[in-house]
Amino acid sequence: MVYKIGWFSTGRGPGSRNLLTTILENIDSGHIKAKISFVFCSREQGEAEGSDLYLKMVKDHGLNLVSFSSRKFKPEMRKEGNENPTIMNTWRRAYDQEILSRLAPYSADINVLAGYMLIVGHDMCDRYDLINLHPAVPDGPAGTWKEVIWQLITDKAEQSGVMIHLVTKELDKGPPITFCTFPLRGQSIDPLWERHEQALRQKGLDWIIHEEGESYPLFKEIRERGAIRELPLIVHTLKTFSEGKIGIDNHQVLADNHVQHQPYCLTEQIEASFTNGQHNE
């Protein structure tokens, strides 16, 4: 039986298109032994140029597409929800129920949040096994990728990583499934840490964050080291799922059919793909 993947995205920009294209290429080559069961997009045709290109690409590949605009769904309630978490939770549950209804004809063994810009509600977590990417190692910094990097800089961390985790009702608290690590020390980055120490003494961290921001050389280097590993980690994670080495049962992560107590380390595979020139596979 072919392993089936469900794909959730808002499809905002080239990153979303590149990610789906890369997974499809790996499926076509047999590297990932699976198929895309469906693609769900939280935008509809005509909302934005980026998502229009995404929707066209999905159709051109002949994939099962379900698009349902979050912007157009009960917009007044959603607007009120921006100021009232209770109303937002009501809106989110109603929207998710509509998604579940539209996806009823399809099934998937695992569902990937790939540039999906909405928080998933409880009903979706109950119905689907969902996975998401977080730009840190297990037990590493929480928050957005920007918050993660600044925390790494603040902590003077010596390594970081990227992980895939199970999506649960607690936001960003699901158990880690796979991960890879990379060093934040070495010949090419040590001079940036030295410049950072000088800047700390002269300006202070608050000045660096607010004045330099994402253009800060150390910030950019850490981001690049993480970003180039995100796509390979997703590829190798789906490959590992499709081979049956890991799985999800009753919202628990399994490894070799037993409850997984430690996340599956894919650092060796990720680094090998760079060595072999296959990091875009």
Q: What is the pLDDT of residues 4-35, one digit of tens each?
A: 999 999 999 999 999 999 999 999 999 999 99
Report which of 134, 157, 165, 162 is spatially closest to residue 251, judged by C-alpha positions. 165
- For residue 170, the model assigns a pLDDT of 76
Q: Which amino acid is at 66?
A: V
Contact 106, 6 (CB under 8 A): yes
Q: What is the pLDDT of residues 38-52, one digit of tens each?
A: 999 999 999 999 999
Contact 26, 239 (CB under 8 A): yes
pLDDT of 280 higher than 50? no
Full-model pTM: 0.90
DSSP class of residue 214 equals G
Q: How many CA atoms lie within 13 A of 88 on its CB side?
A: 9
Residues 6+ apart with CB under 8 A from 55: 11, 41, 43, 44, 45, 65, 67
- For residue 252, the model assigns a pLDDT of 84
- For residue 237, the model assigns a pLDDT of 96
Main-chain phi, psi angles of 248, to 5 degrees: -125, 130
State how far the Cα of 57 lies from the Cα of 80, in Å rounded to an integer: 34
- Token reading at 186: 């070495």
Average pLDDT taken over every residue of the chain = 93
- For residue 137, the model assigns a pLDDT of 95
Residue for token pair 């935008």: 43
- For residue 277, the model assigns a pLDDT of 56
State how far the Cα of 217 lies from the Cα of 62, in Å rounded to an integer: 42
State how far the Cα of 97 lies from the Cα of 111, in Å rounded to an integer: 17
Start-to-end C-alpha separation, the chain: 24
pLDDT of 269 higher than 80? yes
- Domain range 1-128, its CATH number among 3.40.50.170, 1.10.10.1400, 3.40.250.10, 3.40.980.10: 3.40.50.170
- Token reading at 67: 């698009």
DSSP class of residue 213 equals G
pLDDT of 278 higher than 60? no
The mean pLDDT of 251-272, rounded to a whole number, is 88
Residues 6+ apart with CB under 8 A from 136: 142, 148, 152, 160, 161, 162, 163
- For residue 276, the model assigns a pLDDT of 66
Q: Where in the chain is the domain with CATH 3.40.50.170?
A: 1-128
Main-chain phi, psi angles of 50, to 5 degrees: -60, -50
Q: How many CA atoms lie within 13 A of 9 on its CB side?
A: 27
Q: What is the pLDDT of residues 181-238, one digit of tens each?
A: 999 999 999 999 999 999 999 999 999 999 999 999 999 999 999 999 999 999 999 9
Q: What is the pLDDT of residues 178-196, one digit of tens each?
A: 999 999 999 999 999 999 9
Strands (E), the chain: 3-9, 34-41, 65-67, 110-113, 130-134, 159-166, 176-183, 246-249, 252-255, 258-259, 264-265
- Chain length of the chain: 281
